[in-house]
Structure 1
Amino acid sequence: MHADDAELIDLLARLSNAKAPSGFEDEVVDIVRAFCADWANVEVNSLLDVIITPHTVDADKPTLLFDAHGDEVGGMVQAIHAGGTMNFVELGHIAPGTLAGQDVFVRTGASAWIRGVVGVKPPHFWTATERADGKAPLTLDVGATSKQDALERFGVRIGEPFVAATTFSYDEQRDIAIGKAFDCRAGVCALLLALRELAQRDDLPVNVIGCISAQEEMGERGIGAAVRAIEPAAAFVFEGCPADDTFTPADEIQTALRKGPMFRYFDRCMITHPRFQRYVLRVAQSRGLPAQTSVRTGGGTNGGVIHQLDIPCVVAGVPCRYIHAGASICAPQDIRAAADIAIAVAEDFSPSAISY
Structure 2
Amino acid sequence: MSKELLANLSDAFGVSGYEKEVAEVAKNYLKSDALFHMDKIGNLYIKSKHTSDKKEKRPLKVLFDAHQDEVGFVIQAIRPNGMLDFLKVGGWVVSNVPAHTVIIKTHTGRKIKGVIASTPPHFMTETERKQALSFDKLVIDVGTSSKEETESLGIEIGDPVVPDVRFEMLNDNLCLGKAFDCRIGCACLLETFKDFYSNEKRNREIEIEAILTTQEEIGERGSTVAAQNTDADIAIIFEGCPADDTFTEAYKIQTALGKGPMLRHHDVSMITHPGFQRLAIDTATEFDLPIQRSVRSGGGTNGASYSLSKKAIPCIVIGIPVRYAHTHYCYSDYRDLLVAKELSLRILEKLNQEVFDKL
Question: Are the structure 2 counterparts of residues 81 and 195 from structure 1 closer, same or farther at C-alpha, using a change threshold of 3 Å?
Answer: same
Structure 2 alignment gaps of length 5 or more:
none
Structure 1 residue 98 displacement after superposition: 0.9
* Structure 2 counterpart of 1:68: 66
* Structure 2 counterpart of 1:151: 151
Letter in 2 for 1:247: F
The aligned runs of 1:147-296 (5 Å cut-off) are 147-152=147-152, 154-173=153-172, 175-200=173-198, 201=200, 203-296=203-296
1:23 is the counterpart of 2:17: yes
* Structure 1 counterpart of 2:328: 326
Cα distance in 2 for residues equivalent to 1:75 and 1:332: 28
* Structure 2 counterpart of 1:317: 319
1:274-329 deviations in Å (ceiling 9; x for gaps): 11100111112112211110000011010111111101000011001000000010
Displacement over 4 Å in runs of 4+: 353-356
Cα distance in 1 for residues equivalent to 2:305 and 2:357: 17
Question: SS at the partner of 2:264?
Answer: strand
- Residue 43 of structure 1: which of 37, 43, 60 is its match? 37
Structure 1 residue 238 displacement after superposition: 0.3
Structure 1 residue 240 displacement after superposition: 0.3
Structure 1 residue 172 displacement after superposition: 2.9
Cα distance in 2 for residues equivalent to 1:73 and 1:335: 21
Structure 2 length normalisation: TM-score?
A: 0.94
Structure 1 residue 227 displacement after superposition: 2.6
- Residue 342 of structure 1: which of 330, 337, 344 is its match? 344
- CA root-mean-square deviation: 1.4
Percent identity, aligned pairs only?
Answer: 37
Cα distance in 1 for residues equivalent to 2:8 and 2:23: 12
Question: SS at the partner of 2:66?
Answer: strand
The aligned runs of 1:23-172 (5 Å cut-off) are 23-59=17-53, 60-135=58-133, 137-152=137-152, 154-172=153-171
CA contact (8 A) 2:227 2:305 kept: no
Question: SS at the partner of 1:188?
Answer: helix
Aligned length: 348
Structure 1 alignment gaps of length 5 or more:
none
Question: Are the structure 2 counterparts of residues 350 and 61 from structure 1 closer, same or farther at C-alpha, using a change threshold of 3 Å?
Answer: closer
1:67-99 deviations in Å (ceiling 9; x for gaps): 110110000001111110111111111133111
Cα distance in 1 for residues equivalent to 2:339 and 2:326: 23
CA contact (8 A) 2:203 2:348 kept: no
Cα distance in 2 for residues equivalent to 1:336 and 1:204: 23
CA contact (8 A) 1:284 1:290 kept: yes
CA contact (8 A) 1:312 1:354 kept: no
1:159-213 deviations in Å (ceiling 9; x for gaps): 110100011110234x201110000011111111110011224643210111111
